[in-house]
Amino acid sequence: MPEEPLRVLFAAPECAPWVKTGGLGDVCASLPRALHRRGVDVRLMLPAYPGLKGTLRTAHESVPLPALGGLPQAHIARVTLPGGQAAFLVDCPALYDRPGGPYQDASGHDWEDNPVRFAVLGRAVAHVATWPFDWRAQVVHCNDWQTALAPAYLALGATPRPATVITIHNLAFQGLFPPQVFASLGLPPESFSIDGVEFHGQVSYLKAGLQYADAITTVSPSYAREIRQAPLGFGLEGLLQRRSAVLSGILNGIDVDLWNPATDPWIERRYDAATLHRKTDNKGALRARCGLAGAPAVPLIGVVSRLTQQKGLDLVLEAADRLLRLPAQLVVLGAGEVHLERAFRELARAHPGRVSVTLAFDEPLAHRIEAGADIFLMPSRFEPCGMNQMYSQRYGTIPVVRATGGLADSVVDCTPATLANGSASGFLFESASAPALLAAIERAIAVYREPALWQHLQRQAMARDFGWDASARAYAALYARIAA
Ligand code: ADP
Ligand code: GLC
């Protein structure tokens, strides 16, 4: 008899292409698909954001989620997303059906009712796990603070319950709210304690997940080690040390169909390792689009990033004058903190024709930068995994990255030895400083000036396998272990 597929409820705060603020949206789209290919019966669970409302107009089953504490009533609809993924949507228009982002309004302020919005999501996840539909989850997989109350509701609720795992995509975001919020959650009063969801007098949604889930994962092995200590544990290092027996790191994969220079519909000219010379046309098109002037052979450095302290882009600002004199040109796509946006806007103004800055969220342009740049920069202060350094390698765009978290786990520093043994794929630097960043870029440009060697490096980077297979296997094995 063939084995029954394992049933997994995958709780996601965002999911590309419908709602995406960063790599979490990419992962919540591509990991469930990879799990499905491995034979896991995985169902997504998401809020019914405006981008997903269309699916509610098709026929679907729905169950009520009763009000609890200060949390309003909602409905849980069972739908099929465009593309075929089976999903549950938490339908509560007052909470989720609004213009703006999933966590913030159009001007970048957190929605004031986020504590309610993501308590309802966590509760809905726990409710589906109690089997109101004829589908019973054996494992609930939560992602980040927005879904992290679910393990608490399950662990503190009725038995039997499914096994739970929470994945930390970024410990810097914890869902910390004033203590008054606790009363609205409908959790037992004793759980507002140091061994529960309380964190320095506040309610921490992420801590709830880390405390009550059966297993904890994060998105790279290095980050799984880094967060057991300050400062990257962001105050939760003690708890993570205590739970280290159930904490592991599984490197994210990428969607190798969506990020494929041989089929990418957004780029000027498609290419692969055998037709790498065509990449030049993408560089030309990107330069023209971004108004970059001068000799086309000048190395073009790309950045696609949220503009936040995490990403270390202030180091690029600090190094910019010397960087441009190497010479090099810079194309930046990003959005985020006001002071960084302003500084990059000024940088572009000060260096017309040499620096291009687009302050927006622009998916097609992100692909064009991956295809058109020579070098891709990620000087992150910390990086749980990072997706763009993997996209870059696939596009033969050599990443220069800080040796932290998933960057250290997915880029192999270029040295004579790694070039010779076929593993070199980029350039790493240790210290979060402008001189260290510049030194790594200088190393990259020295190789860039030797075209045969550079192409060899590009082909090595392009040959690396960043598909989901190995990591999906690791998740499936973890599910099987905790479900048993
Ligand atoms: P993080 O999730 O911390 O922002 P990742 O490297 O994991 O960092 O993922 C970022 C994802 O968001 C990538 O898919 C990247 O291309 C995308 N992205 C970031 N900023 C922008 C932007 N301004 N426009 C388009 N895509 C962006
Ligand atoms: C977070 C992290 C990023 C990671 C992404 C997906 O946004 O900042 O490093 O790649 O989640 O796991």
Whether residue 143 has its Cβ less than 6 Å from ligand 1: no
Query: Do 201 and 235 form a contact (C-beta atoms < 8 A)?
Result: no
> Around 450, how many Cα atoms within 13 Å sit in the side-chain half-sphere?
7
Whole-angstrom CA distances from 293 to 144, 361, 390 are 43, 24, 28
Query: 460 — phi, psi (to 5°)?
Result: -65, -40
* Pocket lining: 170 vs ligand 2, CB cutoff 6 Å: yes
Q: Which of 103, 232, 306, 370 has the most ligand 1 atoms within 8 A of CB, as the residue to mutate?
A: 306
- Please state the pTM of the whole predicted model: 0.96
Question: Are 449 and 106 within 8 A, CB to CB?
Answer: no
Q: CA nearest 331: which of 358, 306, 308?
A: 358
Does 218 share its domain with 298?
no
* Per-residue H/E/C for 412-438: CECCHHHHHHCCCCEEEECCCCHHHHH
Q: Do 45 and 177 share a domain, yes or no?
A: yes
Q: Looking at the structure, do residues 292 and 392 belong to the same domain, yes or no?
A: yes
Kindly state whether residue 1 falls inside one of the protein's structural domains.
no
Q: How many CB atoms lie within 10 A of CB 131?
A: 11
Q: Using CB atoms within 10 A of its CB, is residue 160 exposed (0-12), middle (13-18) or buried (19+)?
A: exposed
pLDDT of the residue at 2: 57
pLDDT at 261: 98
294 and 156 fall within a common domain: no
Pocket lining: 210 vs ligand 1, CB cutoff 6 Å: no
Range of the domain at 300: 273-462
Residue 325 lies in a domain: yes
- Here the CATH number for the domain that contains residue 441 is 3.40.50.2000
Positive or negative: CA dihedral 453, 370, 376, 382: negative
Give the strand pairing for 202-204 and 176-177.
antiparallel
Interior/surface letters 344-367, b for 16+ CB within 10 angstroms, e for the rest:
beebbeebeebbbbbbebeeebbb
190 burial (CB, 10 Å; 0-12 / 13-18 / 19+) is exposed
Q: Within a domain: residue 37?
A: yes
| 362 φ/ψ angles, rounded to the nearest 5 degrees | -140, 95
Å from CA of 22 to ligand 1 middle:
4
CB 318 within 8 A of CB 434: yes
Residue whose CA lies nearest to ligand 1 atom number 20? 305
Q: What's the one-letter identity of residue 84? A: G
Which bin fits 89, alpha (ψ -120 to 50), beta or left (φ > 0)?
A: beta
SS3 category, 333: strand
135 C-beta closer than 6 A to ligand 1: no
Residue 406 CA to ligand 2 centre (angstroms): 9
Q: For residues 71 and 57, is the Cβ–Cβ distance under 8 A?
A: no
Q: Are 284 and 178 within one domain?
A: no
Is 265 part of any domain? no
99 and 135 in one domain? Answer: yes
| 194, part of any domain | yes
128, part of any domain: yes
pLDDT of residue 158: 87
Distance of CA 22 from the midpoint of ligand 2 (Å):
7
Peptide bond into 261 cis (omega under 30): no
Contact 248, 222 (CB under 8 A): no
Which of 27, 170, 361 has most ligand 2 atoms within 8 Å of its beta carbon, as the pocket-test mutant? 170
Examine residue 476 and state whether it is found in any structural domain, yes or no.
yes
Hey, how many other C-beta atoms are within 10 angstroms of the C-beta on 178? 10
Residues 119 and 18 in one domain: yes
CA of 428 to the centre of ligand 2 (A): 19
Instruction: Please indicate whether residue 28, judged by its CB atom, sits closer than 6 Å to ligand 2.
Output: no
Return all residues near 402 (Cβ < 8 A) that are at least 6 apart: 312, 378, 379, 380, 381, 383, 428, 429, 430, 432, 437
Question: For residues 385 and 143, is the Cβ–Cβ distance under 8 A?
Answer: no
10 Å CB burial of residue 294 (0-12, 13-18, 19+) is: exposed
Q: Does residue 326 sit in the same domain as residue 193?
A: no
Look at ligand 2, atom 12, and give the residue with the nearest C-alpha.
Answer: 169
Report the distance separating Cα 301 and Cα 297, nearest Å: 12
pLDDT given at position 113: 98
Q: Is 22 in the pocket of ligand 2 (CB under 6 A)?
A: yes
Residue 24 Cα: closest atom of ligand 1 = 2
Residue ranges of the chain whose pLDDT lies below 50: 1
Residues 233 and 342 in one domain: no
Strand order in the sheet with 139-143: 61-65, 74-80, 86-91, 41-47, 7-11, 139-143, 163-168, 215-218, 247-249
Looking at the structure, tell me whether residues 336 and 216 fall in a common domain: no
Q: Are 36 and 52 contained in the same domain?
A: yes
Whether 123 maps to a domain, the answer reads: yes
Q: Ligand 1 pocket, 410 CB below 6 A?
A: no
Same domain for 384 and 238:
no
How many domains, in total, are found in the chain? Answer: 2
